[in-house]
Structures are given as structure tokens and as C-alpha cells.
Amino acid sequence: MGFWQIFSDLSWAVSVLMAVWMIYDTWRVQQEYDESFLMSSREGAEELSAKETDK
């Protein structure tokens, strides 16, 4: 088995490993955190809080 074939097979393997890691991490986060917290990001939130502080 030549270098390029090994490189090619390694590319598949590393790619699949990274995909599995990301899917696992996504699942883990979903288990550990409340969904409403994960989706609580608001556009312009900092600008809003700055304005509220000014008041």
C-alpha cells in the first residue's frame, strides 16, 4: 500500500472521527443544558443592555 493510498484512507478516517466528535459534543451539550438557554441569544443584546444601563 503506497503513501497516497494511506493518505487517502487516513483522510476518510480523520474526517469521520471529526464528524463523530462534533455529533457527540452536540448531543452532550443538549443533555447538559436547557434548550431555552442554548437558544437565548438575541440580536443586539449588548446594545440593548447598554441602553438599559444608561437609563
Q: Which residues have C-beta within 8 Å of that of residue 44, sequence separation ≥ 6?
A: none
Q: How far is CA 31 from the centre of its chain?
A: 14
Residue with cell string 441569544 = 41
* Residues 42/48, Cβ–Cβ less than 8 Å: yes
Interacting residue with another protein among 4, 6, 24, 53 (CB under 8 A):
4
Number of residues that bind another protein (CB under 8 A): 36
Tell whether residue 18 is a contact of another protein (CB under 8 A): yes
**Taking the complex as a whole, how short is the minimal distance between the CB of residue 53 and another protein, in angstroms?**
12
Binding mask 20-49 for another protein (x = CB under 8 A): -xxx-xx-xx-xxxxxxxxxxxxxxxxxx-
